[in-house]
Amino acid sequence: MRKIAFFTISLLMVVTLLSSAKQDKGELSYVKLFTEVYQLVKEKYVESVSPKKLFEGAIQGLLSKLDAHSTLFTPDQLKNLK
């Protein structure tokens, strides 16, 4: 329960960082924000999460913001598609 509460507080801190990154609007501020969120999730999330899962999720999220047709295929998914 304490881990969940701490993780929630950490996410609130990220929201604050995001608002300051929007004010700066430089790409490096977003890279810094992403790195900080990545570290928080890796260190404080309730369960251990692999870097592969985190980065694939980040890429999927990035592509999903573009349009309904952009998506990430893992090597296995691409193999099955072919």
Residue ranges per structural domain of the chain = 1-48, 50-82
Q: Do the Cβ atoms of 33 and 21 come closer than 8 Å? A: yes
Name the residue type at position 78.
Answer: L
pLDDT at residue 51 above 90? yes
- pTM comes to 0.61
Beta strand extents in the chain (DSSP E only): none
pLDDT at residue 19 is higher than 80:
no
Q: Would you call 11 helix, strand, or coil by DSSP?
A: helix
Output the pLDDT for position 3.
60
pLDDT grade for 69, boundaries at 50, 70 and 90:
confident
Average pLDDT over residues 13-32: 70
Q: What's the whole-number mean pLDDT along residues 10-37?
A: 73
Distance CA 64, CA 48 (A): 25
Kindly state the average pLDDT of the residues 36-45. Answer: 88
What integer pLDDT is reported at residue 50 of this predicted model?
A: 93
